[in-house]
Structure 1
Amino acid sequence: MHAISRTAAFLAGAVIGVSALAASTSASADAGGVPRSDILRAPIQGSQLADPPLFGLVRGGAPWVISEGTARLRANGDLSVEVEGLVIPTRGDNPLATLSATVVCNGRDLRMTSPVPFSTSGDAVIDTHVTLPERCLAPVVLLNPLGNAGTYIAATGR
Structure 2
Amino acid sequence: MHAISRTAAFLAGAVIGVSALAATASASADAGGVPRSDILRAPLQGSQLSDPPLFGLVRGGAPWVISEGTARLRANGDLSVEVEGLIIPTRGINPLATLSATVVCNGQDRRMTAPVPFSMAGDAVIETHVNLPMRCLAPAVLINPLSSDGTYIAATGR
Aligned residues between the structures: 157
Look up the SS of the partner of 1:137 in the other structure. coil
Partner of 1:78: 78
Look up the SS of the partner of 2:69 in the other structure. strand
Identity of aligned residues (%): 85
Separation in structure 1 between the aligned mates of residue 4 and residue 116 of structure 2, nearest angstrom: 66
* Cα deviation digits, residues 66-96 of structure 1 (max 9, x gap): 1111111111101011101100001111111
Partner of 2:46: 46
Cα deviation for residue 137 of structure 1 reads 1.4
Partner of 2:29: 29
Partner of 1:68: 68
1:1-158 matches, within 5 Å, as 2=3, 4-5=5-6, 7-158=7-158
Residue 91 to residue 11, structure 1, CA distance change in 2 (3 Å): same
* Cα deviation digits, residues 21-42 of structure 1 (max 9, x gap): 1000111122222221111111
Look up the SS of the partner of 1:12 in the other structure. helix
Separation in structure 2 between the aligned mates of residue 117 and residue 142 of structure 1, nearest angstrom: 16
Give the structure-1-normalised TM-score. Answer: 0.93
Separation in structure 1 between the aligned mates of residue 103 and residue 93 of structure 2, nearest angstrom: 25
Question: Structure 2 counterpart of 1:42, which letter?
Answer: A
In structure 2, stretches of 5+ residues that fail to align are none
Report the aligned-residue RMSD: 1.4
In structure 1, stretches of 5+ residues that fail to align are none
